[in-house]
Amino acid sequence: MDTAHGLELRLIVDLVPNHTSSAHPWFVEALSAEPGDSARDRYIFRDGRGPDGEE
């Protein structure tokens, strides 16, 4: 980055911090955690629809 700045170039980092894969370790941990566990604080969980809440 110092080299880029020395050449008067600027760096733009583009990321989407509010999305993770369903396979991401944080999400897997949050799914297995009990309600109220701090691991679930990274996500917003809502009750599902349908007869078993699976939709």
* Residue-range definition of the domain harbouring residue 53: 13-55
Report pLDDT digits (tens) over 1-55. Answer: 899 889 999 989 888 777 889 999 999 999 999 989 999 999 998 888 888 777 7
| Burial bucket for residue 39 (CB in 10 Å: 0-12, 13-18, 19+) | middle
Is 53 a member of any domain?
yes
pLDDT for 23: 95
pLDDT for 38: 96
The count of C-alpha atoms lying within 13 angstroms of the C-alpha of 18, restricted to the half-sphere facing its C-beta, is 1
Is 6 a member of any domain?
no
Is 17 a member of any domain?
yes
How many Cβ atoms from other residues are within 10 Å of residue 30's Cβ?
18
Give the whole-angstrom CA distance, residue 29 versus residue 35.
Answer: 12
